[in-house]
Chains A and B, each alone.
Chain A
Amino acid sequence: MTDLSPARLQVMWNRLLAVVEEQGQTLIRAAFSPIVRECGDISAGIFDVKGRMLAQAVTGTPGHINTMAEAVKTLRERFPIQNMAPGDVYMTNDPWLASGHLNDFLLMLPAFKDGRVVGFTSCTSHLVDLGGLGMGPEGSDIYDEGLLIPPCKLVDRGEVNALLMEIVKANSREPIANEGDIYALIACCEAGARRLVGMMEDFGLDDLNVLAEHIIETSRRGTLEAIAEVPEGVYRNILKVDGYEKELELHATLTVTRERLHLDFTGTSGCSKKGINVPLNYATAYSVFAMRCIIGSDIPNNAGSLEPFVVTGPEGCILNAQHPAPVAMRHTLGQMTPDLVLGCLTQALPDRVPAEGASCMYDLPMRHTPEVARNGGHQFAVELVHNGGTGARPHADGLSATAYPSGVFGSQVEITEAVAPVTIWRRELLPDSGGAGRYRGGLGQRIEMTSAVDEPFLVFLSVERVKNAAKGRADGLAGAPGRIRVSGRAADISGKCELRVEPGERLIFDTPGGGGFGSPEARDPDRLARDLASGLVTAEGAAAYGDKR
C-alpha cells in the first residue's frame, strides 16, 4: 500500500520538479541554436493522462509559460489516446499551437507504464533556421517566414519519420543543426518519460491521479489566496509602442475577481504588415508571467496555478494575430506586454509593482554582406544580445543593463570579437539614462562598434522604446529612450530595419533606461550623492532631482 500522506506527496512533487529541470538541462546542453544556449529558450514539462500540466522547468525565457500547457491539450485532443503506442512522439511548430513563431518546435511523448499511458512529457526548443526569409521582421505573411509543420507523428513506435526529417533539412540553411536539435528534443522527451515512470516505480504508483490532484489543488488554492490580496475591480492601461510602419497602442483591461484575473486586449491596434505580430498564446505567456511575478510567484507553474489567469483579445489585434499574419519577431512586442499588464496591476497594488523598463531586449543579429561572401571576405553570423535598464521598484532602484522580462545573457565583448570581424570600442552604462525618482530607473548602456576589417556588415534591427521611453510611476520620471546612430549620418536609424554599416563607420547604440519610481525630490540625498560620485548621474542630470545640494 502506497503511503500518500502530505509529506510523501510533497516528496513526489519535488521529484517531478527535479525531473523537468533535468529534462530541460538535457535539452539546453545539446542545443545548437545560440538563443537556446544564451537564453535557455526552451521548455520542458510533465502532464497527467488528461493533459493537465503538473510541472514545468523554469527556463530562461517566459515565452513558454502556458503556451506549452495549451499546446499539449491540443495535441492530446487531436490524437486519440487509444491509438498511441510506446515509442510514439508527436510534434508541431504551428505558431498558433506551439510557441508563437516557426522556429519553436514542440514535441509530446506519451509515457507508458504496464502497457498504459500514464502521462505525457513535452518539450520545446528554438531551431536555428526554418528557411523563408529567416529570423527578421521582413516577411509579409507566414509563408514568407518558412516551413510550417501541422500536428503530426514525428516518431512512430521508435521509428523517426524519415521523410519529415528530410523536409525539415531541405528547407533550412542549417540542416545539420536542425537535425541535431530535433534529436535533442526527442531525447529530452524520452529522458523525461523514463524518469517519470522510474519515479512511479520508486514510489509504488500505478497512476498519477492522487498526485496530480494534490499538485493542482494545492497550487490553485495557493494562487487564489494570493489573488485574494488583490483588490477586486477593473483596471485599464494603454501602452504606446514604436511598432514597425507606425506607432501602435496596446490596450489592456484587467478584471480582478475572487476566482480569477481576466486580462483582455480589446482596443489594441490591428496587425502590422511585417513580422512583429503576436499570436495570442505568446502574448498570454508574457502577460501571465508578469502577473505571476507579482501574485503567487512562490508557486510553480502547473495547471492549478495557471488556471486563474485568463487572457483574451479580439481576433486580428496585434496581440491576437491570426493566420497567415507574419509573426517571426513576435517577441519584440511580446516582451512589451509585461509593462502593459503591470500598468493595470499597479492601480490595484501600487506598492508592489515596478515602473516600466526597457523590456524589449536589444537582440542584434549581424552578418557579412552578400558581396563580401562573393569576394571571398570574412563570412560570419553572430547574434549580440544587450539590454537596457529595468524599471525602479517601489522600494529599490532599477537594475542597470539587465534583462527583464526575458532572462537572456548579454554577450561578452571578447567572445564577440573572437568570432566576428568587429571591434567594440565602448560598452558602458549611459549616465542619466535611468529615470529620476525616489528610486531611480536602471541605466541603459552605450555600445560603439566598427568593422575590424575593411568590409561592411549587416545588422538586423527589431527593437522597441526608441520613440516611446519607459515611463515612471508615482511621479517618477521616464527613462531615456533607446537610440541607434551611425557616425557621420545625419539621421538616427529606425528601430526596425536592415542596417548596413560601411568600413570606417561607427555604429552607436544606446539601450533604453528604466523609469523612476516616486517623486525625484523624495530621493535620499545620500543616494543621489553616491550616484553623482560614481558618475551614474551627471551634474546636469541631477537637476531632475531638484535642488538638494
Chain B
Amino acid sequence: MTPAVEFANVSRHFGPVKAVDGVDLTIVEGSFFAMLGPSGSGKTTCLRLISGFEKPTTGAIRIFGEDVSATPPHLRNVNTVFQDYALFPHMNVRDNVAYGLMVKGMGRARRHARAEEMLALVKLEGYGDRKPAQLSGGQRQRVALARALVNEPRVLLLDEPLGALDLKLREAMQDELKALQHKLGLTFVFVTHDQHEALSMADHLAVFNEGRIAQIGTPQDIYDRPATRFVADFVGSSNVLPPELTRALGGPAQWASLRPEATRLAQTGPVSGTVIALRYLGAGTRVVIRAGETEIAALVPAGQPVPPEGTTTAIAFDRNALHLMGTD
C-alpha cells in the first residue's frame, strides 16, 4: 500500500538553523500519526512541509506516492487545522466552513448544504449564522475542523489544535477527534508538545529533537522502550539512569530507563538514597529519591506507606522494567 505521506531525507534550513535535518518518515494511510517534541524541535516545520507552506531545502516529500516538491499549497489535497484556528472574522460560521467549496466554484445553495452537514458532523448545528467572535474556544476549534474537512482531504493536518483549550475540554476533544478519525477513516497528522496527548491519541508517533526524529513507533514502543535518553526524558516521566547506576542495579554499564510505576521502595537494596520530594497524585504518591547525582522517582500506590521527606530508603524494581538505550 502506498503510504499517505513519505519524507525521504528531508531537510529545511533557515540560514544556519537546521529546523528539519535529514528526516525520513512514512505515514501509513488511515493512521492517526502524532509528531511530538519540544518547541523548536522541527515538528511544526514538518507539518508545514506537508501542507506546502515550507519548501524542503533538500530531500523529497511524497503524498500518496506523488512528489509534491513543485505543488503549491492550494493544489495539495491536504487540509490544515491551524493552531490559532485562523477563522475568517468577516465571514459567518457557514461561509467559513464553505470557503473551500466557494473557491472551487461550487454554487451557494450546494455549498451551504454541505457546510451544514459538516457543522452537524462537529455537533454545531444551528451555529451557521454566527460570527467566529461569538463562539467559545472549543466551538471555534470545531468550526476550524469542519472547514478543514469540507474539501474531503486525503490527509488532515492538525497543528496543536487543542493547545488553547482548558483541560476538561481538551480531554473531551481528544476523544471526539479520535472518534471522528475512526468514522472518516482519514489519515490524521497531529502536532503536539503534550506527551500524554500524543500517547493517548496516536497509533503511531515520531518524537522530534533538534530537527531530527529521535524515535518513531507505536505509543507502547516509545513509552516502554525509549531509544534514547531524550525520548525517555521527554515522553515518560521515566527515570534515566546513568551507566554506573545501571550497573549498581545489576545491569550492564549502559544508559537505561526505568518507569516510576515499576520502581518500588524497599528496606534494603543495592541503591539507596534520600527522599527529597513528595507529590500526591491521587492514585498514588510520586516519591523522588536522590541517589548520588541522580534523582529517581518511584510511584507508591495509594494505601501503601509513604516515607517522609529526608528519610533514607532503598529502591527495588521489576527486572524486565529496566530498559537499556543509546547514549544521545
A and B: bona fide binding partners: no
B contacts, CB < 8 Å to A: none
A contacts, CB < 8 Å to B: none
